[in-house]
Structure 1
Amino acid sequence: MRQGSRLSRNDAAEFLGVKPGTLKSWQRVGYGPPSKKVGHRRYYEIADLQAFSAGGQSNGSC
């Protein structure tokens, strides 16, 4: 599901070339791109995904 400049966990995983479970695991340990929880779902900003992909680092916020 795509809403403006944010992607669902499934779409973000596809964008990064990893499995959704990998993003979930990364989020639990404080690694990976920052995400925001809306209701029961996590979303990732496209700009954050691009920055993570380019640098391979998290900016520290989840």
Structure 2
Amino acid sequence: MSQLMNTPEAAEYLGFRPNTLEVWRCHGRGPRYCKLGRKVVYKKNDLDSFVTANEVNTLDSYCESSGGGRR
């Protein structure tokens, strides 16, 4: 099983405050989480997937990945 983190640990990993994750949970947003009784935990791979899903490609990053470079 992947590493489990509580809300403060997950927030630190993502660079947010714990309150941000709590608000996102209330609004049905943010990374996937698990409820174990009353305890909320996040899987590290779910946090990584959340970051990947929110990547924004810029024109420069597209040119770099396609080998085109800047002109």
TM-score range (shorter-chain normalised) is 0.7 to 0.9
In the aligned structure 2, how far is the partner of 1:53 from the partner of 1:14?
A: 14
- Greater share of residues in helix: 2
Partner residue in 1 for 2:8: 10
Q: Which has the higher contact order (CA 8 A, sep 6+)?
A: 1
**Number of matched pairs:** 54
Q: Which runs of 5+ in 2 are unaligned?
A: 56-71
TM-score, normalisation: structure 1: 0.77
Moved over 2 A (4+): none
Structure 1 unmatched runs, 5+: 58-62
CA root-mean-square deviation: 1.6
Percent sequence identity over aligned pairs:
33
Aligned to 1:49: 47
